[in-house]
Amino acid sequence: MTREQFMTRLKAKLDGFSAVETARVLEYYDELFSDSLEAGKTEEEITASLDSPEKIAERVRVELAFLRAEQEPSARTLNTVLLVILGVFALPIGLPLAFALIMVLFSVGMVGVSLVIAAVLLLLTLGVTGIILIITGFAAVVASAPLSGFALIGSGLICAGLGLLSGVGAWALMRVLIRGCVKLFRNIYMSVTKRKGEGKA
């Protein structure tokens, strides 16, 4: 395969990527060809040493999914990473790993749901308690008991603040869990692709 044929096929397989992402990949492989040609290799030798354009596009797609998931951790990006990896593992050797990934995602999902439920319940409990204390405090101030009233208002504000803090903390913990899963999936993916490459060699 010549340089032109390789680059044409690669560009076609990168359909669906953004213009910037496509340009970066094509520029990288164009420079790789130039450097290898200067080193004395022929175009056919260079293309023979590279993965096929299809595999390159597949690898770029997975790496971009990992990058986006790490930059914007959410359940949606985590699902995207899992679906991409399952596509890569659509081989008998990958089925046990795919099953393991599904179990990991299920476990993380259960933990996430539990955290969300706990955070919502705590937020509601502390929020309602805070509102009641604030209202009671204002009533006490109006009823000529300012010291007790201000104490109740202060307690109410503390409860409301703790409720908001619990919600923020649960969200932050969820992001940490998602980032951890993304790193785990990345390590598994790198391990499997490395093993396939060694087997090919």
- For position 30, what pLDDT does the model report? 92
- For position 31, what pLDDT does the model report? 93
pLDDT digits (tens, 9 = 90+) for 124-157: 888 889 899 999 998 888 887 888 888 989 998 9
Burial track 178-199 (b if 16+ CB lie within 10 A, e otherwise): beebbeebbebbeebbeeeeee
- For position 109, what pLDDT does the model report? 65
| C-alpha–C-alpha distance, residues 153 and 133, integer Å | 6
Q: At CA 132, angle to CA 130 and CA 137, rounded to 5? A: 95
Q: What is the pTM of this model?
A: 0.49
Max mean pLDDT among 11-20, 57-66, 187-196 falls in 11-20
- For position 200, what pLDDT does the model report? 46
For residue 62, give every residue at least 6 positions away whose Cβ sits within 8 Å of its Cβ, in sequence order, or none.
Answer: 84, 85, 88, 189
Which of 25, 3, 4 minimizes the C-alpha distance to 14? 25
pLDDT digits (tens, 9 = 90+) for 24-64: 889 999 999 999 999 999 999 999 888 888 888 887 887 77
pLDDT at 6 over 70: yes
Name the strand (E) or helix (H) holding 92. Answer: none
- For position 199, what pLDDT does the model report? 44
The span from the first CA to the last CA of the chain, in angstroms, equals 20
Which of 126, 129, 156 minimizes the C-alpha distance to 141? 156
- For position 67, what pLDDT does the model report? 72
Q: Quick one: average pLDDT of 5-20? A: 88
Which of 111 and 191 is assigned the larger pLDDT? Answer: 111
